Structure 1
């Protein structure tokens, strides 16, 4: 007896699929938002690449997330990009994709021809992919669909660390990843996660930036409980290092004071 392909009425989020696997039977009414790795065949959405089925919690957008080294832009993705050239009407931005992206100079909240940002080559931006086509340069915007900044902006200062695109999407999930929750309870820092595998970090001290970067990069293949233990261990190590540095400074100060006293005593004895 021949096997009958099952057409799921609900997407199995987190399921591994291969090209041609049915992901969702399209409803008769309503709109289904899809991203990369999916295509429509009749009344069914099927996977066009191997990967894991993902769904955005707020918009319901579906996509297949492959473990790929190079980022493939998809509309509505949030990305961290670096300005690589500037022109009168747009900036060229490196987002780690096969093509550079274009960021119009007016694609910022409140921007006009007289009042627009003056970004320089090397500057970082947190932007939204407004449009993406296979054979064209993707277009970015530093506003949401309603024209508001919504966190998209020129990123000043800080540093960028690289993670896989899979891990980046996990860091953007809701509820927050365990590693971010644990870090947020103990430390003050700013972060912008790009679905292109770049994470921008800034904090009051370089030591905090290094600790957060290490935690994020080391947590990809860990369970939530393991992520919590990882952060706790890093915090303990950081506290121990800070205490050792403080003891060293105190010892240096004591040695300096002792040396000054000895020099002063020698001078009085002459």
Structure 2
């Protein structure tokens, strides 16, 4: 993008809905449909009216004056709000599905971090990015100055990014907007941690993922998926955990070949 918000020469523009499933390149601009917020005659009312959701901009995209600017090469994806229809004007999320090697923190992403150090009231976590993330001891459910969480160096933390941009240090929390853990916090001492590609993680987190459904029929287990490509799995007995890892990695080869 050139200075002053003008598009660089050679960049192409296309409708976002028409580009879903196609290859997009850095510099491409995705045009969004108009949303007539003040058209009272067209605004549906009543219990059957569809809610007007917010359009989310995911990895590989950023907002610009014309719509969405592509920053990574890959396939454009779109998810409808709640899995229903309604087009981009009804909300949902756009993102670029790319073969990115290193994880880049994104606000709201839930990841698995490894505690590497403690500096005062802040824990330092390795999240697989270019720099470590910080986590305050108050960012746990029920934590106070007197009641501090029991976190040690080497522990695994499942949390989400509260701050993630190129100008600030990534900051994580283990509570949601209501102050509840919602499954986040220190992961159990048992289990097994391994790493897969970022593309496979997105497939595993998709609704009604066949891989997860098939594994759940074979073994009883606990599974934590981090958007940074880390997977923690715990089963009983422990002997089945390596088997689950092999199943997931075999699924990675199968999905990559499709």
TM-score > 0.5, shorter chain as reference: yes
The TM-score bracket by the shorter chain reads: 0.7 to 0.9
Is 1:137 equivalent to 2:164 in the alignment? Answer: no
* SS of the residue 1:99 aligns to: coil
Match of 2:242 among 194, 202, 210: 210
Q: Which residue of 1 aligns with 2:74?
A: 51
Q: Which has the higher helix share?
A: 1
Unaligned stretches of 5+ residues in structure 1? 228-270
Following TM superposition, by how much is the alpha carbon of 1:96 offset from its aligned partner in structure 2, in angstroms? 0.2
Unaligned stretches of 5+ residues in structure 2? 1-11, 38-51, 83-90
- 1:11·1:24 contact (CA, 8 Å) conserved in 2? no
Q: Provide TM-score, normalisation by structure 2.
A: 0.78
Match of 1:67 among 99, 102, 106: 99
Q: Provide TM-score, normalisation by structure 1.
A: 0.74
Match of 1:180 among 207, 212, 216: 212
Q: Which residue of 1 aligns with 2:34?
A: 27
Number of positions where the alignment pairs a residue of Structure 1 with one of Structure 2: 223
Is 1:171 equivalent to 2:204 in the alignment? Answer: yes
State how far apart, in whole Å, the 1-side matches of 2:156 and 2:18 are.
Answer: 36
Q: Which residue of 2 aligns with 1:230?
A: none
CA shift digits 1:173-197 (9 cap, x unpaired): 112x211111101210101000100
Match of 1:97 among 126, 129, 142: 129
Following TM superposition, by how much is the alpha carbon of 1:129 offset from its aligned partner in structure 2, in angstroms? 1.0
- 2:13·2:28 contact (CA, 8 Å) conserved in 1? no
Following TM superposition, by how much is the alpha carbon of 1:87 offset from its aligned partner in structure 2, in angstroms? 2.5
Following TM superposition, by how much is the alpha carbon of 1:220 offset from its aligned partner in structure 2, in angstroms? 1.8
State how far apart, in whole Å, the 2-side matches of 1:183 and 1:198 are.
Answer: 17
Match of 1:81 among 113, 123, 144: 113
Q: Which residue of 2 aligns with 1:36?
A: 59
State how far apart, in whole Å, the 2-side matches of 1:65 and 1:163 are.
Answer: 15
Matches within 5 A, 1:114-129: 114-129=146-161
Following TM superposition, by how much is the alpha carbon of 1:145 offset from its aligned partner in structure 2, in angstroms? 2.7
Considering only aligned residues, what root-mean-square deviation do their CA atoms show, in Å? 2.6
Q: Which residue of 2 aligns with 1:255?
A: none
